[in-house]
Structure 1
Amino acid sequence: MRRNLRTPRAAQAAAAAVVAGTLILTACGGSDKDKDNNSGGKESGGSGSVSLPKLDGASLEVAAVWTGSEQANFKKVLAEFEKRTGAKVTFVPAQDPIINFLGSKIAGGAPPDVALLPQVGAIKQAVDKKWAKPVGSEAQAQLAKNYSQGWQDLGKVDGKQYGVYYKAANKSLVWYNNKVFENAGANEPKTWKDFLATARTVYDSGVTPVSVGGADGWTLTDWFENVYLSQAGPEKYDQLAQHKIKWTDPSVKDALTTLAELWGNKDYIAGGPDGALQTEFPASVTQTFTGGDQPKAGMVFEGDFAQVNIAETKAKVGTDAKVFPFPAVGDKAPVVSGGDAAVILKDSKAAQALATFLASPDAATVQAKLGGYLSPNKGVAPSAYPNAVQQKMAKALIAAGDDFRFDMSDQAPQAFGGTPGKGEWKALQDFLKNPKNVAGTQAKLEADATAAYKG
């Protein structure tokens, strides 16, 4: 379970500067000079900076929920590990919620050696179930060298290091089709009021303003979290994340009412609410950047990882696809971060070596070069990232240190914040369909949260 989750200040937030950095992404094409004017870690290459054992004859299974290009790119990281150690690594596609997937594997006597867990609470749950094994001294040394204390703490349970945060996410971005904006005469908004005005401008030009991947409930929790953090503030955000205040609190009502200003206008959502609820996240991105200047939508909200899906459309980040920070609803723009941590389930020399590799700049540099990825590893050179947009995000992420707020639903018990068709995912899907039902949505959220935190 994820109740009583530790959320130290250091771990409550790496993203403030991530989005602060995106404030300078408004032109976001950048220039080639950006690629040459970097500070940060050394470029990894050749035999790499981390020493790995020879593992000829060893085999490993690594499970994650990643699909498509994200999975393909991570397999290249695993291939580098194979090349350097002689081990054989098999990627095992997992389903959400991954804890349930792992539970069935363990019950069948065939757990993967390592799993990438997308929720902070899932790490604690794996420890509570006695599935997870602490990482060894070599991996801990890499973490101490390459990670801020906040990112290290996110992988700890009761003071022991179980998780290696291999991947970070900036979840406070809105991507837009530049041709649509140019044709409409639309500007990048800085406030929620401006955002709704921009949506109107895009709509008047003949393009539906916003694409929403409502079939994946986690995208809707990200919408809520950004609005709530900006409107209610960080203290309330922390309290709600730990269920120290109820979901019937007036601050939740305010956030849902704000969301309804967009979700309640079916003309502003690609396919309307029903269409959005049938649209998975990857399609919500690709339909924004296909169709030239007449795509299905002009904008799509989601994290830096949307670049993987943008790349599938052949749109170029920085010219065809641009980005602005999630607009400020309150006094400040929100800054929400997420991430995926490697956890060892079968303790072995090979599994520990993989954890060490994933904690090193070597592994992250392989995937950074492929795009659609950010690493909290400060040993990765910004120049490793393929475009100016990501280079600036990477610099800002590292500069942020421990100043960030972590994804709220990822801090909740899985039954509430991380299960398809249940809890927060389902309640917000229902709210997208009927944004007038603010009170009913609050009541459902509170009932589900109470059951999950007690459970």
Structure 2
Amino acid sequence: MPEHKRNARAVPAVAAAAAAAVALAAAACAPGGGENGGGTAGGGDLDGAELLVAAKWTGVEQENFEQVLDLFEEQTGATVTYDSTGEDTGAYLGPRIEGGNPPDVAILPQPGLVSEYAAQDALFPLEGDAEAALAENYSDYWQELGSVDDQTYGIMLKAAHKSIIWYRPEAFDEAGVEAPQTWDALVDDTAGTLSDAGITPFAMCGASGWTLTDWFENVYLSQAGPENYDRLAAHEIEWTDDSVVQALETLADVWGEESLMNGGTDGAVQTDFPTCVTQVYGQQQAAMVYEADFVAANVVESGAEVGVDALAFPFPAVGEAPPVVVGGDIAVAMSEDEGTQRLLAFLASPEAGTTWAELGGYLSPNGNVPADAYADEFTQQLAQTILDAGEDVRYDLSDQVPSTFGATEGSGMWAILQDFLRDPSDPEAAAERLEQAASDADE
């Protein structure tokens, strides 16, 4: 992540307000042009073709994506219909797959589902222009993320930046602290000084187990490095590995200090997302909250102004380099229709990504979508960190493993890390539980 010595307030300041406003309001502008990249759909030769695209997006997210689809329709003559899957993508797709009536393109919320549906023979590999567009516009890491057994199925369309910590500048000013660049500075200088000044440093979102996996992933990626991160995601090293234990010990620097968390341990475990955001900005009970760029929407709902009352800084470096962890959505083909591959080629193009970027509420993993395509400075900065991280950016680990281990409430990583938040005194025991759960999920 570049330019870490820049004053962190200069990064999100007023521009972040624009990011939240654009993300929350329906975009009124028409899709932009942008430079065409490899694989862009061209020619109006799909007249009469009808395609169905399904994703979880609703509201403004859906409206903006439909504007991107409108551009494809204008270029090709195809008719594209959007259908929302709701939050449970599997519940939507399962019956359609069984009934032989899946959408032409499904946009999956996690890479693990690519493997699951590929194993069911429910997906068709990328080919032709779609495959070429992916190779031209995406790094090797993103290409591999959408592949199963050396067969490429998926295109990462939309990213969520999960390596930022939000804070109240008023609280920082009162305590006389600055945004930290390292983990030690976060714990000892920033959090410690806030606590000494009578200001609770963190609101934790421990009742939402997925937020705890995000904490772990950032610490682990920075401390253990990208190679070990990949090996752990693939379960090529066990969760009892020293690197896992060390990451848990590092988390205990915060999780083991009741005075650093709003409501102490009990409060940390019982507070969900987005209540933790409200505790920082609406109720002003704490100075910081960790979660992704989408926190901006919750800040506004809390009555605060992003860029004025709410700022953010990069997740501090635990090891040699700060982490860049992203979540996101992957488009796959579920039909053999020619228009399906053409649509995927278009979605993988810089033109589609740039058009979407101009509408707001969006980050692209496409390496040929320039940072200055985004409408506000805050999003431009986030996009640039993804571009600059290059091959070291990593996808949310818990979404790469089987969902029974990484994405199920009350079990697996969620439950084990919640228990560790309650009592982080035995990281070795927590690592053993993680290994057992990972092994059970692999069976």
| Common topology (TM > 0.5) | yes
Which residue matches 1:216?
Answer: 208
1:179 alignment partner in structure 2: 170
Aligned pair partner of 1:87 in 54, 79, 89: 79
Residues 61, 232 of structure 1: CA spacing in aligned structure 2 closer, same or farther, 3 A cutoff? Answer: closer
Structure 2 CA distance for partners of 1:24 and 1:147, relative to 1, 3 Å: farther
- Count of residues in correspondence between the two structures: 422
Contact 1:60 1:350 survives alignment (8 Å): no
Q: Which residue of 2 aligns with 1:129?
A: 120
Match of 1:145 among 107, 126, 136: 136
- CA deviation after TM superposition for structure 1 residue 250, in Å: 3.1
What is the TM-score normalised by the length of structure 2? Answer: 0.82
Which of 256, 281, 286 does residue 297 from structure 1 map onto?
286
Residues in 1 aligned to 2:7 and 2:253: alpha-carbon distance in whole angstroms: 26
Q: CA deviation at 1:155?
A: 1.8
C-alpha distance 107-287 of structure 1, shift in aligned 2 (>3 A): farther
Segment of structure 1 superposing worse, 410-419 or 128-137: 410-419
Q: Of 38, 41, 46, which aligns to 1:51?
A: 41
- For the residues of structure 1 that align with 2:58 and 2:84, how far apart are their CA atoms? 11
SS class of match (2:364)? coil
Partner letter of residue 332 of structure 1?
A
Using a 3 Å threshold, how does the CA distance of structure 1 residues 94 and 25 change in structure 2: closer, same or farther?
farther
Q: Any conservation in 1 of the 2:41–2:72 contact (CA below 8 Å)?
A: no
- Check whether the contact 1:335–1:404 (CA below 8 A) recurs between aligned residues: yes
2:28 aligned partner: none
Q: In the alignment, residue 256 of structure 2 is paired with which amino acid? A: G
Q: Who is 2:335 aligned against?
A: 346
Deviation at 1:276, TM superposition (A): 4.1
Aligned equivalent of 1:157, options 139, 144, 148: 148
Q: Is the 8 A contact 1:155 1:163 kept in 2?
A: yes
Contact 1:25 1:323 in 2 (8 A): no
Q: How does 1:60-139 map to 2 (within 5 A)?
A: 60-64=52-56, 66=57, 70-71=61-62, 73-78=64-69, 80-81=71-72, 85=77, 87-96=79-88, 98-99=89-90, 102-107=93-98, 109-139=100-130
Q: Is the 8 A contact 2:204 2:276 kept in 1?
A: yes
What does 1:351-390 align with in structure 2 at a 5 Å threshold?
Answer: 351-390=340-379
Say if 1:87 and 1:350, in contact at 8 Å, map to a contact too: no
1:169 deviates by 3.6
Question: Which residue is 1:421 aligned to?
Answer: 410
Equivalent in 395, 398, 407 of residue 387 of structure 2: 398
CA distance in 2, matches of 1:68, 1:23: 37
Question: What's 2:315 paired with?
Answer: 326
CA distance in 1, matches of 2:285, 2:356: 30
1:252 paired with 2:244, answer yes
Q: Does 1:452 align with 2:436?
A: no
CA contact (8 A) 2:218 2:315 kept: yes
Identity of aligned residues (%): 46
Candidates 269, 273, 278, aligned match of 2:261: 269
- Assess if the C-alpha contact under 8 Å between 2:34 and 2:355 holds in 1: no
**Amino acid in the other structure paired with 2:347:** L
Cα gap change, 1:405/1:59 in structure 2, threshold over 3 Å: closer, same or farther? closer
Unaligned 5+ segments in structure 1 are 1-18, 36-43
Cα distance in 2 for residues equivalent to 1:284 and 1:67: 24
CA contact (8 A) 1:67 1:93 kept: no
| One-letter identity of the residue aligned with 2:382 | M
Q: Secondary structure at the match of 2:311?
A: strand
Shift of 1:268: 2.7
Q: Which amino acid aligns with 1:194?
A: A
The change in CA–CA distance for 1:288 and 1:86 in structure 2 (over 3 A counts) is farther
Q: Give the distance between the partners of 1:277 and 1:109, measured in 2 at CA.
A: 43
Structure 1 residue matching 2:239: 3-state secondary structure? coil
The answer to whether the Cα contact below 8 Å between 1:228 and 1:237 also exists between their aligned partners in 2 is: yes
Please give the TM-score of this superposition, normalised by the length of structure 1: 0.80
Q: 1:146 to 1:249 in 2, by over 3 A?
A: closer
Instruction: State the Cα distance separating 1:445 from its structure 2 match.
Output: 0.8
Q: Which residue of 2 aligns with 1:226?
A: 218
Going from structure 1 to structure 2, the CA distance change for 1:380 and 1:243 (only over 3 Å counts) comes to closer
Are positions 1:239 and 2:239 aligned together? no
Do the aligned partners of residues 223 and 402 (structure 1) sit closer, same or farther apart at CA in structure 2, a change above 3 Å counting?
same
CA drift at 1:375: 0.7
Give 1:314 deviation, angstroms.
Answer: 6.5
- Give the aligned partner of residue 441 of structure 1: 430
Whichever residue aligns with residue 415 of structure 1, its letter is: T
| AA of the residue aligned to 2:288 | M
1:438–1:378 Cα change, 3 Å: closer
CA deviation string 1:190-232 (max 9, x = no partner): 2222212312333444543223333332221111122223333
Contact 1:308–1:372 (CA under 8 A) maintained in structure 2: no
> Could you tell which deviates more after superposition, 100-109 or 206-215?
100-109
Q: Which segment drifts farther, 106-115 or 174-183?
A: 106-115
Q: Is the 8 A contact 2:41 2:342 kept in 1?
A: no
Change over 3 Å in CA distance of 1:181–1:314 after alignment to 2: same
Higher relative contact order (CA 8 A, sep 6+): 1
Secondary structure at the aligned position of 1:226 is classed as helix
Preserved contact between residue 416 and residue 434 of structure 2 (Cα < 8 Å): yes
Q: Which of the numbers 177, 187, 201 marks the counterpart of 1:196?
A: 187
**Cα pair 1:419 1:425 within 8 Å, conserved:** yes
Q: CA deviation digits over 1:55-112, x for unaligned, max 9? A: 5572514123x4665455445444554565452423323335x446533442355533
The separation in 2 between residues aligned to 1:288 and 1:82, in whole angstroms, is 44
Q: Distance in 2 between matches of 1:273 and 1:347?
A: 52
Q: Which amino acid aligns with 1:28?
A: V
